[in-house]
Every structure is written in structure tokens, then in C-alpha cells.
Amino acid sequence: MKKIVVASDSFKGSVTSLEVAESAEKAILRIFPDCEVVKIPVADGGEGTTEALVHAMDGKMVTSQVHDPLMNLIHTEYGILGDGTTAVIEMASASGLLLVPEDKRNPSLTTTYGTGELIKDALERGCRSFLIGIGGSATNDAGTGMLQALGFRFLDKEGNELKQGGRILQDICSIDTSQALPQLKEATFTVACDVNNPFSGKNGAAFIYARQKGADDKMIQVLDNGLKHFASVIRQQENKDIDAIPGAGAAGGLGGGFLAFLPTTLKPGIQMVLDALSFEEIIKGADLIITGEGKLDKQTGMGKTPSGVLHAARKQSIPVIAIGGSIEETEALNRQGFLSVFSIQPGAVTLQQAMNKKFTLQNIERTITQFLRIIRHYHEK
């Protein structure tokens, strides 16, 4: 074997994607000492995306003080890639559900303001290209908070500026864009979106996602009415009909907020990451790709990291082997196109043991060593 690419997601709660790649490299070089090993930490647009892209593209992490979903000040991080002009932001780091205590979750009040502050900070540092993951939100404000942080003003029928939260949507009568940050005219946004929910309606942001963010039936209906009303205002003022666009309902309507007011492309999360990495160029000439994540099952083919890696590899007829902490539906995974799939577990183990970092890394190295021994045997014949 002359070239093997390792492009795995993290095993969440246990090891990072980079740690998976480093353990795999040890195994590869033990069996094929002259092999070129290309390590590409990847993620699917959710947790770990910033870290993976920053490492792969010689970037840096930046700390910024922003407001959390309830407008409390917090410190959080985002990434700036090696080109100095591309920012990677996970909205959950500023506007995520895990930042709000369970007894205080209320999507009428929670806001994406902090996500806008991260974008503003990156703009002021010279960034003009944005890669943004929008999973795990605590909000249903249609991105109005984010836009407020960027200088947009949402006004009621008397011309008064509204505050924050999903509660304001039903009261918006006009949108003042005159004070929006001028740098936005030079910026582009690629948003990782793995859902197809429309902005409003029975399959929209409020009805599908607001309950898990703290809403009851009455609040869900009020929020949905607000989304419908806001979509109507956008249609009248911006001449854009976002209500039925697949993905506009993502993250409490944040997808729609991006589409309505900023130059935005929605992409599946893994596709956003692989495009940013120029993945198809990197894997050219590879003899094998090793990918994986914590759990592999028939859902793996629905937009998760291994499926994106597999899709790119099949264009170049490169075989892909997948590893995971847990494996289900092996035959379905094979039908999807994986050459083979392997559980890294040596036998029955406790969950605590399975999540132990040292144990996981040892098992990754052992598993890859074993299947590469088979490959070497037939290569030598």
C-alpha cells in the first residue's frame, strides 16, 4: 500500500477525530512502514467541526466574550482557518441548548444574539468567508438575535425597536437594514444544515423542535404564528419567500434568517466540511480510506461523516473501511458501499470502559493492525 487516508469523525465522549487518525497511523506504519498516511480529521458540521477544520487547515482558535441564549455574558471560542479570512463557528457554543438550565428553557425568550456577536468578532478580524454549524440550538427566534448583533433592527407597528427572543416575531412590522455592518456586503456564509424542515407549519421550526427547547403547546402555536408573520414581512420587504424552503426551519428558523438577509448556501454538514478541505483532491491516488465514528448503523448513510467520506471515495473507486465503537446493521452498511466494517471492541465491556480514552485508542490501533495484516498477506502473494 502506497497511500492510505484516515478520515474519521470523533468517537463522541471518548476520542477526537485527530486522536483516531493518530492511532490509525501507528497501526498503518507498523504493517506498511513505507506507506504515505494522510490524516484528515473530519466532522459532520456538529460538535467537533471547528476543531477538525482548524487542525486540518493550520488555523487557530479565538476566544470571544458574547451573550448566551438568555443574554448572560460568557466566553466561548470559534476558529479562523489558515487563510486568515475563513471563520468556523458552531452556533451551539454561543446559542446552544446545553447553555440553558433545564428549568430556564424558553424559546420565547432565548436568542441567537451571541452567534451574531461571534460573526461580528470574526468580521472585525478580517474574515469574509464563514462556515457555520447550526445544530443544537436553544432558540426559536428565526435568527433575529443574530441579525440584531450585526446591526439589523426589527421594529413594531409604532416604529419601536423590539428586543430579543421568539416572542418578537409576531410583532415585527418592518426591518431596518440601514445600520447592518458594512463588512457583510463582502461576506459569504455556508451553513451546515442536515434537516429539511420548512420555516413554519406542522413540519416547521416551532412544531418540530420548540418542545425540546422548553415550549408547551400554547407557546408552540404562538411561535409558529410568529414565524408565519415574519416570513410574510420578509416577503413584502425583501421580496424573498423563505417559508417553504427546505432547511429554513433549522435551528429554530435560523436557517431562514440566514437565507433572508445574508448571502447564504445551505449544505449538508459533512459536505460543507469536505468541500472546505478540498477532500476529493486530497484523496486522489489513495489505495484505501479508513473512516469511522462512535456508532455505525443504517443511519450512518443519512448524512453522517462516514457516508460523506464514502460518497467522495466512490467517485474515485477507492475502497473504504469503517470502524466504530458499536456496529449495527452490518449488511446494510455493506450495501451502502463500505468494503467492510469493524467494531473496535474486543468483547463485552461496560459503557464506562468503552468510553475510556486509552482503552478506545488501543482498540482502534489493534483493530486496524489486524485487518491490515490480512491485506498485507494478500499483497505479498
> Using CA atoms, how far apart are residues 26 and 138, in angstroms rounded to an integer?
40
Percent of the chain with pLDDT over 70: 100
User: Is 169 within a domain?
Assistant: yes
| Same domain for 329 and 233 | no
User: Is 127 within a domain?
Assistant: yes
Average pLDDT estimate for 288-308: 89
CATH of the domain at 327: 3.40.50.10350
Give the range of the structural domain holding residue 142, as residue numbers without chain letter.
49-270
Output the 3-class SS for the chain. CCEEEECCCCECCCECHHHHHHHHHHHHHHHCCCCEEEECCCCCCCCCHHHHHHHHCCCEEEEEEEECCCCCEEEEEEEECCCCCEEEEECHHHHEHHHCCHHHCCCCCCCCHHHHHHHHHHHHCCCCEEEEECCCECCCCCCHHHHHHCCCEEECCCCCECCCCHHHHHHCCEEECCCCCHHHHHCEEEEECCCCCCCCCCCCHHHHHCHHHCCCHHHHHHHHHHHHHHHHHHHHHHCCCCCCCCCCCHHHHHHHHHHHHCCEEEECHHHHHHHHHCHHHHCCCCCEEEEEEEEECHHHHCCCHHHHHHHHHHHCCCCEEEEEEEECCHHHHHHHCCCEEEECCCCCCCHHHHCCHHHHHHHHHHHHHHHHHHHHHHHHC
| Same domain for 303 and 192 | no
Count: domains in the chain? 2
pLDDT digits over 245-283, tens only? 999 999 999 999 999 999 999 999 999 999 999 999 999
- Which residues are 175's β-sheet partners? 154
Residue 301 has pLDDT above 80, yes or no: no
Q: Which of 243, 270, 297 corresponds to the end of one domain?
A: 270
pLDDT digits over 92-110, tens only? 999 999 999 999 999 999 9
> Using CA atoms, how far apart are residues 143 and 343, in angstroms rounded to an integer?
41
| Same domain for 324 and 226 | no
* pLDDT at residue 381, as a whole number: 66
Cβ atoms of 268 and 192 within 8 Å: the answer is yes
* pLDDT at residue 108, as a whole number: 98
Residues 354-368 as b/e (b if ≥16 CB within 10 A, e otherwise) read bbbeebbbebbbebb
| Same domain for 303 and 183 | no
* pLDDT at residue 350, as a whole number: 87
Output the 3-class SS for 195-219. CCCCCCCCCCHHHHHCHHHCCCHHH
Please tell me which residue, 50 or 13, carries the higher pLDDT value. Answer: 50
- State how far the alpha carbon of 245 is from the alpha carbons of 52, 119, 130, 189, in Å: 29, 24, 21, 17
User: Is 331 within a domain?
Assistant: yes
| Same domain for 67 and 201 | yes
> Using CA atoms, how far apart are residues 357 and 294, in angstroms rounded to an integer?
12
Average pLDDT estimate for 142-149: 98
Treating both helix axes as pointing N-terminal to C-terminal, what angle do 217-238 and 250-261 enclose, rounded to 10 degrees? 10
User: Is 282 within a domain?
Assistant: no
> Using CA atoms, how far apart are residues 91 and 173, in angstroms rounded to an integer?
27
| Same domain for 127 and 93 | yes
Lowest mean pLDDT among 112-121, 285-294, 300-309, 313-322: 300-309
| Same domain for 227 and 96 | yes
Averaged confidence pLDDT in the chain: 95
| Same domain for 179 and 88 | yes
Average pLDDT estimate for 32-41: 96
Average pLDDT estimate for 121-144: 97
Average pLDDT estimate for 56-75: 97
Lowest mean pLDDT among 63-72, 232-241, 292-301: 292-301
| Same domain for 152 and 239 | yes
| Same domain for 144 and 72 | yes
Q: Which of 207, 237, 270 corresponds to the end of one domain?
A: 270
CATH of the domain at 112: 3.90.1510.10
* pLDDT at residue 213, as a whole number: 97
| Same domain for 214 and 169 | yes
Q: Residue 241 half-sphere exposure, CB side, CA atoms within 13 Å?
A: 1
What is the pTM assigned to this prediction? 0.91
| Same domain for 201 and 71 | yes
User: Residue written as cell 413554519?
Assistant: 200
* Geometric angle at alpha carbon 208, from 206 and 214, rounded to 5°: 65
User: Is 281 within a domain?
Assistant: no
Q: Which of 203, 237, 270 corresponds to the end of one domain?
A: 270
Average pLDDT estimate for 189-202: 95
Task: Give residue 353's pLDDT band: very low, low, confident or very high (50, 70, 90).
Answer: confident
User: Is 333 within a domain?
Assistant: yes
Taking only Cα atoms into account, the Rg of the chain, rounded to an integer number of angstroms, comes to 22
User: Is 279 within a domain?
Assistant: no
* pLDDT at residue 347, as a whole number: 86
Residue 304 has pLDDT above 90, yes or no: no
User: Is 338 within a domain?
Assistant: yes
- State how far the alpha carbon of 325 is from the alpha carbons of 130, 224, 297, 333, 348, in Å: 32, 40, 11, 15, 12
Lowest mean pLDDT among 235-244, 299-308, 310-319, 366-375: 299-308
Average pLDDT estimate for 307-330: 95
